[in-house]
Amino acid sequence: DIDDVGHRYHLELVLEDILDKDSTVNCTAEVLYHLGNKNIAPDVQFTIEGELKNTDEADNIFYNRIKSLEKELVAENIPDSHGNVSPEMEPIRLLAWVASGYVIWQNSTENTKFQLAQIKHVKQVKRSDEYLEFDYIVLLHEMVSQEIIPWQMTVLWHPQHGVQVTQDSRHPKHA
């Protein structure tokens, strides 16, 4: 408890590579939830003890594949109802997962627990520069209220420059 400021948490966690369960890295973090104003994202400071795996090869394969598509990529319902994700869509799913991490951070309070539930719709936006751009509508599941919240996010990605969420907003719920 920090008077007039908020609540600070000290965390010790282990990061696990979802593509390689045996690859783990320790991490410490400080999270500060601001008192009162719920519109400010919590402050996060972290230190990673060690190195994250190099993914250049897989990144470049994905990058080149998308760059060379004749028509812009469009897809829906990833995973599908049965939890299936086609191999070609797996990187699209992982990208959404990372990007939604940012959205979740920006919208979290001490009383929320968000997870990415599903990609409802994803559409590639052709760009003249070297970046890949995807326009996602995702469903976020909030654990405490159990609500499923549609969320729009515009995601930029480049193998060397990483992920950026340039625009995001709560998406109006359709009937």
Partner 1 sequence: MKILLVFAALVAAACGEQLFVGDQVLRITASNEEQIALLRVLGEQVELQLDFWRHPTSPGHPTDLRVPFPSLQAVKIFLESNSISYSIMIEDVQELLDEEKKSMMTSRRIERSTSMFDFASYHTIDEIYDWMDMLVDDHPSLVSKIQIGQSYENRPLYVLKFSTGGSNRPAIWLDTGIHSREWITQAIGIWTTNKIAKEYGRDPSVTAILDSMDIFFEIVTNPDGYAFTHSSNRMWRKTRSINAGSHCIGVDPNRNWDAGFGGYGSSSNPCSETYRGPYAHSEREVKAIVDFIRGHGNVKSVISIHSYSQMLLFPYGYKTAPAPNHQELNELAKKAVSDLAAVYGTKYTYGSTIDTIYMADGTTIDWAYDNGVKYSFTFELRDTGHYGFLLPSSQIIPTATETWPALLDIMVHVLEHPY
Query: Measured from the CB of residue 140, what is the shortest distance to partner 1 in angstroms?
Result: 10
Give the nearest distance from C-beta 88 to partner 1 in angstroms.
16
Tell me which residues touch partner 1 (CB under 8 A): 18, 79-85, 115-118, 139, 141, 143-148
Min separation Cβ 116 and partner 1, Å: 8
Residue 104: CB minimum distance to partner 1, A = 11
Q: Tokens 């993914």, residue?
A: 55
- Which lies closer to partner 1 via its Cβ, residue 72 or residue 147? 147
In the complex with partner 1, which residue's Cβ is closer, 92 or 139?
139
Go through 44-55 and write b for each residue having 16 or more CB atoms within 10 A of its CB, e for each that does not.
Answer: eeeeeeeeeeee
- The whole-angstrom separation of Cα 13 and Cα 29 is 8
CA distances (Å), origin 40, targets 1, 30, 150, 164: 18, 16, 21, 19
**Nearest to partner 1 of 17, 72 (CB atom):** 17
Q: Judged by CB, which is closer to partner 1: 118, or 155?
A: 118
CA-to-CA separations, 28 to 15, 45, 149, in angstroms, rounded: 10, 8, 30
